[in-house]
Structure 1
Amino acid sequence: MTASSLAFPVAWRSRRRLPARVEAIRDLRGSVERCAQYAGLDGDALGLFVVACVEAFTNVVRHGRGRPAGAPIELLISAERDALVVELVHAGEAFDAPQRTLPVELAHYPEGGLGLFIMQAAADRVEHEHAGGLNTVRLTHWPAPRHA
C-alpha cells in the first residue's frame, strides 16, 4: 500500500474547547463522528476510532494530574489527504504512557491501562507528548485504499 493509494475525499479542520468533565463525552463523540463522516470514514472503522477518542478523553478527565481547576480540554480534529487526526490538548503534569499489549488472559491484565489498549487497538497511531506544561494525546487513523 503506497501513500498515494490512501486518501480521504476532503480536507477538514475543527477546533473546540470542551470542559474537563465526563459529561462532555457526548460533545466529543458528536464532533469526532461528524468530522470523520465528513472525511469519508464510516462503518466499523468509524465506530472503533470514535471509541478510541472517547477513551483518550476519559483518561484525560479521570487520570490527568496537575490540571488547573476549570481548565478546558482543547479538541483539534483534522482530516487531511492522508490521515484523520484527533488531538486532545490539556494543561497538567506529563504523562508517560506505557507501551502495553493485551495479555492472552484478561484476568491477568493489571487494573487500569485497558483504555490505553483500546486506544492502541482502534487507532493506527497513538502518541502522548508533553511540552511547556501542555499534554497532547494524538490519535491517527489512515484511510483504507480506495478502489477505482
Structure 2
Amino acid sequence: MLADPRRPADDDSGAPQCLLRRRFTARELPELRVQVEQCAAWAGLSEIRRGDFVLAVDEIATNAVEHAGGKGTLLLRRIGEELECQITDSGPGFSADVIPELLPGLDGATTGRGLWLTKLVTDRLTVTAGTSGAVVTLAMRLS
C-alpha cells in the first residue's frame, strides 16, 4: 500500500499517517527502496536526508532478509513532523546492545556496520522484541 498522492502530506493533528505497508523478500528489496524514496519525498523529507533515510531502511531490511528468515514487514508512517519506518522480522531477535559504538572494524567487530550506519544517520533508532523476532524502528524529523 502506497500513500495516496491526492491526500495532503501535512497533517496538523499529529495522528499517524500510513504511507507504505508491505511484506518483502530479498528479491523485492530494489522495489522497496524506490517505494520508500517516493513516500519520503511525498512526506516532505529533504533530498539530502531522504538519501540517508532510504539507505538506513535498506540496511535494516537487508538485515531482516539475511539474518532473520529471508523476509520482513515494513510499515512507513508520517507521525507529526517525523517520518518513521518500522521493520519487523521473524528471526532470533536481538537487542540494541549489539549496535557498535565505533565503526565496525575499528573496534575489532566484524559485523554491525549496517546497524551502526543506521544509528549514525537517523534521529531515532530502537530495537524491541516482537511476537517472534525483532522490531526495528528508525525515524527522521521532516524539518
The answer on whether the counterparts of 2:74 and 2:88 sit within 8 Å (CA) in structure 1 is yes
Written as runs of structure 1 = structure 2, the 5 A alignment for 1:1-148 is 9-10=10-11, 11-19=17-25, 21=26, 23-64=27-68, 67=69, 72-97=71-96, 98-102=98-102, 107-144=106-143
TM-score of the two chains, using structure 2 as the length reference: 0.78
Give yes or no for contact 1:83–1:141 (8 Å, CA) kept in 2.
yes
1:74-126 deviation digits (Å, cap 9, x = unpaired): 110001222101111122322123242225x9544421111111100111111
Query: Would you say how many aligned residue pairs link Structure 1 and Structure 2?
Result: 129
- For 1:13 and 1:55, how far apart are their aligned partners in 2? 19
Aligned residue identity for 1:53:
V
Unaligned 5+ segments in structure 2 are 1-8, 12-16
1:32-81 CA distance string (max 9 Å, x none): 101101101132100011101111111111122xx3xx7x4111000122
Aligned equivalents of 2:105, 2:125: Cα separation in 1? 22
Tell me, in whole angstroms, the C-alpha distance in 2 between the residues paired with 1:46 and 1:119: 13
Q: 1:106 to 1:135 in 2, by over 3 A?
A: closer
Alignment match, 1:4:
none
Percent identity among equivalent residues?
A: 28
Q: Which has the higher mean CA deviation after the structures are superposed, 135-144 or 88-97?
A: 88-97
Unaligned stretches of 5+ residues in structure 1: 1-7
- In our comparison, the structure showing a higher alpha carbon Rg is 1
Q: TM-score, normalised by structure 1?
A: 0.76
Choose 89-98 or 115-124, whichever is displaced more.
89-98
Once superposed, what is the RMSD of the aligned Cα atoms? 2.2
